[in-house]
Amino acid sequence: MNAITINDLTFTDQAERTNRVFAGWFNDSWTEEVDGEECEMYWDEFSALATDKDGNEYRVTWLFKNYKDGRLEDDNLDWDNPESIEVL
């Protein structure tokens, strides 16, 4: 079987934050210099359910490095490159 890609899937719900607790999540942020400015950063995780043409179900997960001050809107994240695609 070929590897499934995001282009092979139809999403059945909208991507939502997982609110999962893991190293680097919102309450485990770190300081990083960005363009000469000290910024609070964290890993932002989203997931959504999807199906392929045969009706098989998948969970697609994205992981984004994000600014804790909210300056990066969700619409501006790179949704084309998920962290993982899991068969359910």
What's the burial of 60, exposed, middle or buried (CB within 10 Å: 0-12/13-18/19+)? buried
pLDDT at 36: 96
* Helix and strand totals (H; E) in the chain: 0, 6
| Residue 51 pLDDT grade (very low, low, confident, very high; cuts 50, 70, 90) | very high
Domain extent listing, the chain: 6-87
Q: Smallest Cα–Cα separation from 51: which of 38, 42, 60?
A: 60
Per-residue model confidence as pLDDT tens digits over 10-26: 999 999 999 999 999 99
Q: Give the global pTM.
A: 0.87
| Residue 5 pLDDT grade (very low, low, confident, very high; cuts 50, 70, 90) | confident
